[in-house]
Chain A
Amino acid sequence: MSPEVEILVKKFSALLRWERRKRREQVCATASSYALAAALLALPFYAFLRAPGSRWMIPIVLFMLLAPVLFFKRRWRREDSARALARVDQTLRLEERAITAWELIERNDSRPTAQLVLKQAAEKLKTLDPAALFRRRWHWHHMVALPLLVLWLALMGFDIDRQFDSGLLPSAIPTTAHRLREYSRELQERAKSEGLRESLGLGKELEKVAQKSIDAKTADDRFKKDLVATSQKVEAMGKSAAEQPSFSAGESRQSLRDLKAELETARELLKFPEAANTEEKLAQQWLDRLAGMPQLKRQFDKENQAGQKLSQNALQSFLDRLDKQATGELDRRALLEAQQFLEQLMKQGQGEKGEHSVRVPAGNEQDGSGDGEKMRTHSNLPGKEPGKKEAGFQSLPQFPAGAPARVKGALGEGESSGVVFKGKPAPGKSELSQEEVIATYRRQAEAELNSERVPEALKETIKNYFMSLGQSETKK
């Protein structure tokens, strides 16, 4: 190999190596820009990713997908080498000596004319420094990568992608964590309204566990495994509560709730001014009122079989004790229910069953009515046996459209409400006791009276009316 050829081979290799490197860098920059742009566009869909931390991998994954395509599309070809050499000729005004020399070397042309071309080309190219002569040139699609990266990091830093979660996830299949969170919130609400301390604590804890899993996008299977520890904890709480049952298993949750409502009413009674009178009067008044509170009466009768004298303090302590017991029992049952819910949640395949399928009462509970969320169908109307079709049953008459029967209430100023009946209730004897119905009405009235919708002036009148309902019935 002549010295000219050696020089040229070295210079051409350096030039082509430099040009290839520039090409690789440009392809990487382009792929980065496209990957980051795609990652930004896909931001609303990050919610679908289950694995924790996977959202940070999206640009890398997109880059890995795009880069091979771009590298293949912009792979180095012979034309690229020719183009690079033509640029050398053009820049150094070599009148195609470089590209001709390159081809002559490839062809191994040893003719004297070819040697002259090689000689002239070597003379002109021996000082060639490709990196200095052909610097990197960046276009907008290369330079946009950095601003896109900063923007993407900023958006991820502010958790913008998570703001889309609420908009997208409900439409998707709810995960176990979502179901648990929903249940825990319901449990907390119920515990707050009924004053169940243990259940409230458990509800908060469950919500925390569920929220953590939702944030971390933990996979369902893994979450179920994590739930085992929580379930064991709940089980332990349930067991300790089950050791001290205060009421028989036959007591329904509804009757316990009624009892609590009656206890509240009874406390009010003790605060009446006439409560300061003689013990006889108090006892008489107490017994009169007790007639309208069937659950309380039953408990009172159990306790006071000896016919002890009633002092205000004794009554107060009786009511306190009973209230504590009823609350404890409700708390215990709520814990058991939560335990059962968790067990079924862990067993259940995702999306196979609806949420209602796990919302079953505790095994030792005989509460048919549940939380009172049952649909009011013909079969569970008062006086009807659920599931049993009566011989004389006829469907209720339909009122013509546009002319609903409306029963007006006592209208005054402000918001008013009415009840639309679909038809007359079917005749028959109710199987529910009158006491239970009255107690339910009273409880509902108590709840309504606590709302601001009822004017203050009328509250006392309404309260008295419902209290008197039980008394008048007893008198009859």
Chain B
Amino acid sequence: MESVTDIEQRMQSARRAFEELRAEMGRFIVGHDELIEQVFIALVCGGHCLLEGVPGLGKTLMVRSLGEILSLSFSRIQFTPDLMPADITGTNVLSDDPSGRKIFEFQRGPVFAHIVLADEINRATPKTQSALLEAMQEQSVTVGGKLHRLENPFMVLATQNPIEMEGTYPLPEAQVDRFFFKLLLQYPNREELGRIADLTTAAPPAPPRDVLDAAGIMQIRQWVREVPLAEVVKDYAVRIVMGTHAGEAKRNGAISAQKFVLYGSSPRGLQSLILAAKARALLQGRPNVSFEDIRVMVAPSLRHRLILNLEADAEGIGAETILAEVLERVAEVP
């Protein structure tokens, strides 16, 4: 049985691994510190991320760098309207066996990697998008009636462009709900732009160093789930999730939630929120979850789970505004 000292050591090693990852990522990506942390949290929680940002902000670079630093296999799928499900999952092809007989052999698709970048996911048809559903949820694909397990850890990082909506197929709500986090990429500031210019127009940096392997990630995943969570803190998370529902919002007086929310967060939202809070506590070197962990993880965990009405769209009200109000209204201890 582990002692308290062992726990302290493993917490330190998790924290160290994260610090190294951040430092190594910093050599290739300028800024986006918070984003890197959230992606790592999603990874150690076994979740998938939906990245939303205008083109050229370094989405693809970040995901590829992450794959390289973590010594994980990485594949990129550029989603287009003519992309077929088999292009993602793989297909059975006819080939000759050693005896010369014709057999069907399964040719793995790009989904068979630790980290999959689904670039511009909303450009593919719903049929193709749904091919990812099984992979994301079950971590397996079925081709020709045969189940094929994906490797651990498995993470899908999908990107979508929020401004170019023509010829796109917005993701169905069920599929959006399967993403652990929805992360927004902000435009870099002046200083960051300068550094980007320096970094990309000078000699390329040295290849990335491996800081964590698949086994290490799986180990951290297990530690995350062992972080103690007080009932009071859990209740706080529950009340926040409940606060996104119109009925509960009426009770706690969150006006925007009452007015603009059509459907509040699903239970998956609560699961993501608590798990992410635990992971954050661990990465912060803390043995327990705090109210602050919950507060910080509310936006990435819940923003894509709120279904807003047309009035919100017309008034330019986003999920962030509503979640901020809910956080204001919900007390830590009732």
Contacts and interface: CB of A to CB of B under 8 A. Distances in A.
Contacts of A102: 230
Given A95-B286, A113-B227, A116-B8, A82 B1 contact: no
A86 B288 contact: no
B228 A86 contact: no
A149 interface: no
A79 B333 contact: yes
A117 interface: yes
Interface in A67-125: 79, 82-83, 86, 89, 95-97, 99-100, 102-104, 109, 111-117, 119-120
Interface string B310-334: 0000000000000000000000111
B230 A103 contact: yes
A79 B226 CA distance: 26
B44 to A, nearest CB: 16
B228 A112 contact: no
A79 B233 CA distance: 12
B4 A86 contact: no
Contact of A112 (B4, B230, B232, B334): B4
Nearest to B282: A113
Contact of B231 (A103, A117, A119, A120): A103
B290 A112 contact: no
Interface string B1-38: 11110111001000000000000000000000000000
Name, among A97, A103, A111, the residue most crowded by chain B CB atoms within 10 Å (CB to CB): A103
Contacts of B7: 112-113, 115-116
A91 to B, nearest CB: 13
A116 B232 CA distance: 19
B199 to A, nearest CB: 36
A99 B230 contact: yes
Please classify the interface of chain B as helix (H, G, I), strand (E, B), loop, or mixed, using the class held by over half of its residues.
Answer: loop
B236 to A, nearest CB: 10
Name, among A86, A102, A112, the residue most crowded by chain B CB atoms within 10 Å (CB to CB): A112
Given A96-B289, A96-B290, A116-B7, A103 B1 contact: no
Name, among B230, B286, B289, B332, the residue most crowded by chain A CB atoms within 10 Å (CB to CB): B230
Contact of A95 (B4, B292, B333): B292
Nearest to B281: A95
B287 interface: yes
Contacts of B334: 79
Nearest to A84: B333
Interface string B224-266: 0011111111000000000000000000000000000000000
Interface in A220-243: none
Nearest to A2: B4
A89 B289 CA distance: 12
A82 B333 contact: yes
Nearest to B6: A112
Given A82-B232, A96-B233, A117 B288 contact: yes
B2 A112 contact: yes
Contact of A103 (B232, B290, B291, B292): B232
A227 B11 CA distance: 92
Nearest to B286: A95
Contacts of B4: 112, 115-116, 119
Given A95-B286, A95-B292, A117 B6 contact: no
B196 to A, nearest CB: 35
B15 to A, nearest CB: 14
B226 A86 contact: no
A103 B233 CA distance: 11
A116 B231 CA distance: 18
Nearest to A85: B232
B249 to A, nearest CB: 22
A109 B228 contact: yes
Name, among A79, A99, A113, the residue most crowded by chain B CB atoms within 10 Å (CB to CB): A113
21 contacts: A79-B333, A79-B334, A86-B232, A86-B333, A89-B290, A96-B232, A96-B288, A99-B232, A99-B233, A100-B229, A100-B230, A102-B230, A109-B228, A111-B226, A111-B228, A112-B4, A113-B227, A114-B228, A115-B7, A116-B4, A116-B287
Interface of A: 79, 82-83, 86, 89, 95-97, 99-100, 102-104, 109, 111-117, 119-120
Q: Which 5 A-B pairs give the minimum distances between C-beta atoms?
A: A100-B230, A95-B290, A100-B288, A96-B290, A116-B287
Given A96-B291, A112-B6, A113-B7, 4 more contacts: A113-B226, A113-B287, A114-B228, A116-B8
